[in-house]
Every structure is written in structure tokens, then in C-alpha cells.
A = this chain, B = another copy of it.
Amino acid sequence: MNKQGMEQGRQRAEDWWRTDIIDMRPGVIRLRGHEIQDLIGNISFPAMIWLMLRGELPTEDQAGLLGVALSAAVDHGPQAPSIAIARMAATCGVGINNAMASAINVLGDVHGGAGEQALVFLQEIAVGVDAKGLPQAVSDRLDRFFEGSNGYVPGLGHRFHPVDPRAPRLLDITRTYAENGTVAGKLVNIAVELERQVALRKGKLIPLNIDGATAVVYGELGFPAPLTRGLFVLSRSVGILAHAWEQSQKPERNKGPLPREWLWRYSGDEAALE
């Protein structure tokens, strides 16, 4: 082959896979422009996550707050479909990476996506705060919400926990970071006002849940809403791995959702081939 020509075809193909994230040559790996050996050991794991996703290094406090939110949502137990799936998969003769993949795969709009929806809701309120003040901005958004729905306001309420112990803790910590200037604190205030006004309308407290609380943190740190689902996946992967690993240490094979000697109820009709 003509060497020059090959180079041009190669260039077209290499352009097809271009990326701003990583650069590589033999002996050289650069992440977002930084030599990797300069990053290793010099920045924390949350800082590395931030750099990879956003292209620039966070301050130590930004990385610290990101790590707090990532740590908060690692697990919610085997009643969560993702965790149950990880444990069942681990008994089926597949790799631990496969068990994790089957589990992560279900962290969709319903199971995990609530944080994304909550952040969008908070951001829609935020747009109006400067012009009309916090209480009015919240009230207007709630008016619109309750026109179309009787359901739960995104980020509020939990079917199991009367108060989710993670949420107030996350808000407190975010407030501390707002005081030292790491974040603006605007979404914290919106969340608190939202909780207050919904309690007034409903006649009872429907407290901020973990999705709402992490939405506040990720939003304060400037992450776009759709990316927060990815952050949730990174966080929940820890619990998924822990459960898959624990299960893989046990002798069970082909673990089903119910005790082995139980079945399921057939609710269909009888039929016959005629």
C-alpha cells in the first residue's frame, strides 16, 4: 500500500473516535491534558471523577463535597431491584463485572432517575428566584405542578422512611460548604422552602429524600441534571459490588427471588390443545 494514502485513511478513522478526554502515545497517557503520573497520588478519587467528567480540576472543597454525595447513596439493601439482581446474578456462574452490569442496567428513570428529575425541578425554581423572590418562585412552580399531578413532588417523600436520615445530614453539610464559599447555597434554600410550602399545602411534612438531597449537592456543584444519574450509578455501584461479592462467597447456585421451596402463583387460565 501507498504509505501516504494509508495515513490519510487512518486519519479519517482516528477523527471518527476523537475525544477531549484522553490523549495517548507510547509511554504517555494524558487525562484532560494532564500527565497521568502527575495526577496519581496528587488528587483524590472524587477529584479524578470531577476532572474526567468536567475537564478541569476541582478545588479540594469541591472534590470533598462531591465525595460526600457519592458516599451517601451507595446502598439501600436487597429490596432494591438493583441489589437483588446483583446478588442473584452472582449465583449464576457469571463474572462479578457481569453481575454489576445487570444491576447497574436497571438504574433507570424510576430506580435512580428521581435525582435527575428533582434537580430539574429545583433548577426551574432557581430561574425565578432572582426576579420574584424565593417564596413566590417556589409557590408558582408548585401551582403548576399540582395542576398536572397529585403525586409526590420530585425529591420529597419516601415510601419507607418517615425521615430519610441521609437527607438532613447532606443538607447540613452542604450548608457548611455554602458558608465557606464552595457553593452558593441557592438550591439548599430552595429545597428547604419547597419542603415548607409542600407541608403547608398537604397539611403534613413530606421531607426531602435522598434523591432530593443529592440533587441539591450535585446541582450546587454545577453538574448538569442528566449527568447526576451517572453519578448515582458510580455511587450505587459500590453497594452493588459489595452485595455481589458477599453473595459470591456463599454456596448458593441459581438463587431465585423467593426461598427455594416456594413457587409463584399461576393467575392465568387453563387451556387445552384441541
Contacts and interface: CB of A to CB of B under 8 A. Distances in A.
A186 to B, nearest CB: 21
A242 interface: yes
Contacts of A31: 74-75
Residue of A9, A52, A100 most packed against chain B (CB within 10 A):
A9
A43 B67 CA distance: 9
Count of chain copies: 4
Contacts of A42: 273
B79 A264 contact: yes
A257 B33 contact: no
Contact of A173 (B41, B46, B81): B41
Interface in A184-227: 226-227
Contact of A4 (B5, B41, B99, B244): B5
B32 A271 contact: yes
Interface string A1-41: 11011111111111111111111101111111111111111
Contacts of A100: 104, 230, 233
10 contacts: A2-B4, A18-B264, A30-B266, A36-B165, A36-B166, A44-B44, A81-B89, A91-B111, A93-B108, A230-B244
Given A53-B245, A88-B257, 17 more contacts: A13-B259, A18-B266, A19-B77, A19-B268, A24-B160, A36-B72, A48-B74, A78-B257, A79-B263, A80-B254, A84-B84, A85-B89, A89-B106, A93-B111, A94-B108, A102-B106, A258-B258
